[in-house]
Amino acid sequence: MVWNDMRAPMVPLRGLIFLCLLHLCVQGIQGVNTAVLVKMIQYFHDNVQPKTQSQTDAQYALAIRVPLDQCTKEESDIQTVFSRYDAQKVKDKLDKGEKCLLNEGEECTPSKNVIATRPDLKTKEHAEHILLYPLCKSPMDELLKKDKIVKDNCVVFFSYYSPCVKTCIQGQNNISKGLSNWINKRKEGMNAFVFQEIWQKDKKKDLQEEFPKINAVVPLYRCKRTSNVMACRKCVENNIVDGFCLPEKQ
For every one of its 250 residues, what pLDDT tens digit does the chain have, with 9 covering 90 and above? 334 443 334 434 444 333 333 333 333 346 899 999 999 999 999 999 998 776 678 999 999 999 999 999 999 999 999 999 999 999 999 999 999 998 755 678 888 899 999 999 899 899 999 999 999 999 999 999 988 788 899 999 999 999 877 767 777 678 999 999 999 999 989 999 999 999 888 788 889 888 999 999 999 999 999 998 999 999 999 999 999 999 987 5
Whether residue 35 sits in one domain with residue 24: no
What are the distances in angstroms from CA 117 to CA 3, 73, 164? 66, 28, 16
- Shared-domain flag, residues 168 and 44: yes
Residue 237's H or E segment, with its range, is: strand 236-237
Q: Is residue 41 assigned to a domain?
A: yes
> Do 15 and 72 belong to one domain?
no
Range of the domain at 102: 31-245
Alpha-carbon distance 163 to 146, whole Å?
26
Residues near 136 by beta carbon (within 8 Å), at least 6 away in sequence: 181
Q: Are residues 199 and 160 in the same domain?
A: yes
Q: Are 9 and 66 in the same domain? A: no
What's the pTM value of the predicted model, to 2 decimals? 0.85
Number of domains in the chain: 2
Same domain, 46 and 94: yes
Query: Do 89 and 161 reside in the same domain of the chain?
Result: yes
| Residue 6 phi, psi (nearest 5) | -70, -30
Domain co-membership, 2 together with 46: no
Same domain for 111 and 81:
yes
Instruction: Tell whether 8 and 50 lie within a shared domain.
Output: no
